[in-house]
């Protein structure tokens, strides 16, 4: 039966910004010199959704590596014990510390946006520390590879060493990608304006790298 549908437009409320980003106003911009500019930050939701899409893809990639490791372990009797280089534990602390320093930076940004124009709270300083810790982490991973190499364990020596190099290298590549992102964030902060959403999106990625590394360390520790 025909009915008359008045059909007012279904206006959807913008999704809740959540956290500290996406308030849609100029207050979400953080210029390095402390001068707020009247430019609006429209676009946090796509960047937030986008970073979750990217993290989902990275998770699936490492899930595939994990299942490969488990299947390969059960496939043959050539699985040997591999003692993890001790420097990995130091590297773990470094990466976790970098997450903390990143949060320090975000705190500074939050205080800044709360209206306190305190120039001593330069968020860039903590971003530099984060970047430095990231570089130290990658260098530390390289030292771990050198240590295995000195023990005669190369990529193709046995399946354990293959998976060790593979998983740590792919993770280190992602951390290097994060460092490129961090360089972009710092550059934005100094040269133009940094969107708060950009910083938040980057922080999701960086924290995820830390969580992923702890997972990988546990996996390598248990399985290799």
How far apart are CB 129 and another protein at their closest, in Å?
28
Site map for another protein, 164-183, x if CB under 8 A?
Answer: --x---x-------------
Query: Any contact of residue 39 with another protein (CB under 8 A)?
Result: no
Query: Any contact of residue 152 with another protein (CB under 8 A)?
Result: no
Query: Any contact of residue 65 with another protein (CB under 8 A)?
Result: yes
The sign of the CA dihedral 133, 99, 179, 35 is negative
Q: What angle do CA 50, 205, 209 make, to 5 degrees?
A: 140
Whether residue 26 contacts residue 38, with contact meaning beta carbons closer than 8 Å, is answered with yes
Query: Any contact of residue 60 with another protein (CB under 8 A)?
Result: yes
Contact with another protein (CB under 8 A): which of 43, 96, 124, 139? 43
Listed ranges 69-77, 88-96, 101-109, 125-133: which one lies at the site for another protein (CB under 8 A): 69-77
Query: Any contact of residue 37 with another protein (CB under 8 A)?
Result: no
Query: Any contact of residue 210 with another protein (CB under 8 A)?
Result: no
Query: Any contact of residue 47 with another protein (CB under 8 A)?
Result: yes
Of 56 and 214, nearer to another protein (C-beta) is 56
How far apart are CB 173 and another protein at their closest, in Å?
11
How far apart are CB 145 and another protein at their closest, in Å?
14
Tokens of 217: 């360390």
Query: Any contact of residue 97 with another protein (CB under 8 A)?
Result: no
SS3 state of residue 29: strand
Whether residue 222 contacts residue 160, with contact meaning beta carbons closer than 8 Å, is answered with no
CA distance to 21, 85, 89, per residue, from 153 (Å)? 47, 12, 19
Residue 76's Cβ-count burial label (10 Å; 0-12, 13-18, 19+) is: exposed
26 CB-near residues (< 8 Å, 6+ apart)? 36, 37, 38, 39, 40, 41
Burial string for 86-111 (b: 16+ CB within 10 Å, else e) reads ebbeebbebbbbbbebbebbbebbee
Name the site residues for another protein (rule: CB under 8 A): 1-12, 14-15, 24, 42-43, 45-47, 49-50, 53-54, 56-58, 60-61, 63-65, 67-68, 71-72, 75-79, 155-156, 159, 162, 166, 170
């Amino acid at each position: 039966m025909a009915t008359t549908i008045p059909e007012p437009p279904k206006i959807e409320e913008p999704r809740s910004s959540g956290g500290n980003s996406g308030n849609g106003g100029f207050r979400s911009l953080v210029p390095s010199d402390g001068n707020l500019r009247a430019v609006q930050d429209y676009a946090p939701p796509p960047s937030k959704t986008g970073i979750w899409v990217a993290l989902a893809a990275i998770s699936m990639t490492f899930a595939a590596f994990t299942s490969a490791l488990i299947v390969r372990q059960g496939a043959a009797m050539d699985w040997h014990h591999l003692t993890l280089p001790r420097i990995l534990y130091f590297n773990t602390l470094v990466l976790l510390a970098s997450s903390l320093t990143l949060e320090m930076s975000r705190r500074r940004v939050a205080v800044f946006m709360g209206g306190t124009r305190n120039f001593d709270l330069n968020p860039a300083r903590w971003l530099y520390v984060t970047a430095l810790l990231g570089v130290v982490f990658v260098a530390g991973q390289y030292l771990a590879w050198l240590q295995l190499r000195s023990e005669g364990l190369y990529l193709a020596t046995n399946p354990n060493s293959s998976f060790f190099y593979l998983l740590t290298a792919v993770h280190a590549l992602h951390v290097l990608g994060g460092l490129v992102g961090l360089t972009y964030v710092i550059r934005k902060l100094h040269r133009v304006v940094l969107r708060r959403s950009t910083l938040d999106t980057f922080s999701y990625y960086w924290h995820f790298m830390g969580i992923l590394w702890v997972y990988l360390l546990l996996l390598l520790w248990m399985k290799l």
